[in-house]
Chain A
């Protein structure tokens, strides 16, 4: 008996699979199939938009925004530092939502999304740490201090790395998804710590400049390029994530199709010329 989801997959691929064996877990890819149909056409547009907006924001920030009266041109590092910090933090929030979807509903797309988010999130966290360090040397007088803000962002970076490693650490991917989802959820506690660290404890890092509830402590000609750059960084993040999820789905499908054809033909040779 075929489930409606299996039929959906069969309609997608034109391949009718036997129930049982590899076919039994095929139904899981019904939703990813819908994801592919949705994402494939918008991906080039999103990627183009991301590239254009990021470049616009950075050129605006680096060359056409006024330097800070005290920091001089070093203040322009913020056009990379601040957006990458925001993307790294909200990327982790997204990872946590995927972890929840995975644990509670066993949503297969959430597992793939989590798997593809963590390395990219680690990249943005690293960018934030490196640019912050380069700014710290001239302005604070040091590359690094162990204050609550810097340390909690370093922990965010390690959480991403730990997740990326754990989710790929098992022969049975389901075990990896489960373990990584638990790590992803536990790590959420770090997000409010990052955000409020500058208020809960004395830190060398300054408090928040941008405020959604009150006036932001940044001049408008610096705020605009920062916002454009931020939109660009988010678009870049999503474009990369969606492309990676899309190729992960293709990869799994290929594996499943190979398994299925091997099962049907009764051989395990995967490179038999047709």
Chain B
């Protein structure tokens, strides 16, 4: 019972939880996780623009289809919460709403660029590295530190 109470306090289900629970098609719930890199496809369906992508939690992933305007922070490799229901018969989630989930890191653009150049981080593949490696270093220091060791 405590577990049920606890899970009802959770704002969203992860793909793994959805595959375990098998919500009935049409039941509205929230599906959250990371937008899987390389799965975002934009197209037209019935004259309406739509976006499809997969939401993953590292263990399982579920294809999502969404028709509408994406929030500014919607990015591959970043957190997202979608509201909608499973399509009948198909293993596909039809989202009515897409919310971007922001990470806990606060970083200026030049530091992000420096981490990228140094090969220490690609935002597409998850959260930034250990904060101690960047939170008080100048972009030049960050670039200089790892050049050569991890060329990209």
Contacts and interface: CB of A to CB of B under 8 A. Distances in A.
Interface of A: 66-71, 75, 78, 138-142, 145-148, 200-204, 206-209, 214-223
Interface residues of B, number: 38
Given A139-B72, A209-B105, A218-B131, 20 more contacts: A66-B109, A66-B110, A67-B108, A68-B108, A70-B73, A70-B102, A141-B70, A145-B11, A148-B10, A201-B6, A201-B10, A201-B11, A203-B10, A204-B32, A215-B130, A216-B131, A219-B106, A219-B134, A221-B108, A222-B106
Nearest to A66: B108
A223 B136 CA distance: 10
Interface of B: 6, 9-14, 32, 70-73, 75, 81, 97-113, 128, 130-132, 134-136
Contacts, number: 113
A154 B12 CA distance: 19
Contacts of B11: 145-148, 201-204
A220 B101 CA distance: 23
Interface of A is mostly: loop
Contacts of A221: 108
Contacts of B101: 140, 204, 206
A192 to B, nearest CB: 14
B111 to A, nearest CB: 6
B99 to A, nearest CB: 5
Contacts of A138: 71-72
B106 A209 contact: yes
A206 B104 contact: yes
